[in-house]
Amino acid sequence: MKSPTAHKTHRRPDGRSSGGTLRPLACEMSCLQRADGSALWKAGSTSVLAAVYGPVAPRQSSKENSSKALITVLCKQTQTAGEHSSAQKGSSASINNEEWFEPSSSSSSFLVDMISACVKTEAYPRTVIQIVLSIIQADGSVLACALHAAVAALLDAGIMMNCLPVAT
């Protein structure tokens, strides 16, 4: 997994060539009853569950923006998320887990920036749109999967967007 340019016949643990083939995608929407919008996005064995709450009034009215909606993203990883990661299978002794995804504030703020740019925030002034992401299984490309799950959940909630962001 360390150097994809090593051999021409180099294959990834799941059999894909290093040429950049997509893993099978799956999406299930409206899976959560209480959320305004929800989606479960799977790319291969990576799966992320997104829930959207909003537009709602912020808990403290001082935090509201009078001209547009504020997007907040909460990203959490379940305890067993990395158990079936292909990064661990058949790999050499080095535990260089570049594939391992730890949700950090930088990934949350990246998602906030991406989604704020695409959602029509001026249509929902003085509100907050909260997106809660739960990484069910992490097996590479987790941030991209999280973004897609968030977008699918926003579509499910009927929140207006100017465009759809995509990630790989």
Partner 1 sequence: GGVLTMAASTTMVQPKVVLPGDDVTNIVLETKHKMKPKLGTGLSRGSSGDKKIFATMAGRLEHRRSNNTWFVLHNAKRYIPAIEDRVLGVVEDRAGSDGGADIYRVNIGGPHPAMLSSLAFEGATKRNKPQFDSGTLIYARLISDGIIMDPALSCQNGPLDVGVPQKDWMTNEGAYGELRGGTVRKISLGLARELLHPNCVVLTELENRKLAFEVCVGVNGWVWVHSERPEYTILITNAIVNSEVMTVEQVRAMVKALVDTVQKQLQDDGDDE
**Distinct helix (H) and strand (E) counts, the chain:** 2, 5
Q: Which amino acid is at 91?
A: S
Q: Does 124 bind partner 1 (CB under 8 A)?
A: yes
Q: Does 74 bind partner 1 (CB under 8 A)?
A: no
Q: Does 132 bind partner 1 (CB under 8 A)?
A: no
Q: Which is nearer to partner 1, 5 or 66 (CB)?
A: 66
**Reading across the β-sheet that carries 70-77, which strands appear in turn?**
25-29, 37-43, 46-56, 128-137, 70-77
List the one residue out of 68, 59, 156, 146 whose CA is nearest residue 109. 146
Q: Tell which one of 1, 40, 54, 99 touches partner 1 (CB under 8 A).
A: 54
Q: Which stretch binds partner 1 (CB under 8 A): 12-20, 42-50, 52-60, 75-83?
A: 52-60
List the one residue out of 67, 63, 57, 66 whose CA is nearest residue 128. 57
Q: Does 155 bind partner 1 (CB under 8 A)?
A: yes
Q: Tell which one of 56, 78, 89, 109 touches partner 1 (CB under 8 A).
A: 56
Residues at the contact surface with partner 1, assessed by CB under 8 A: 36-37, 54-57, 66, 118, 120, 124-127, 155, 157-158, 160-164
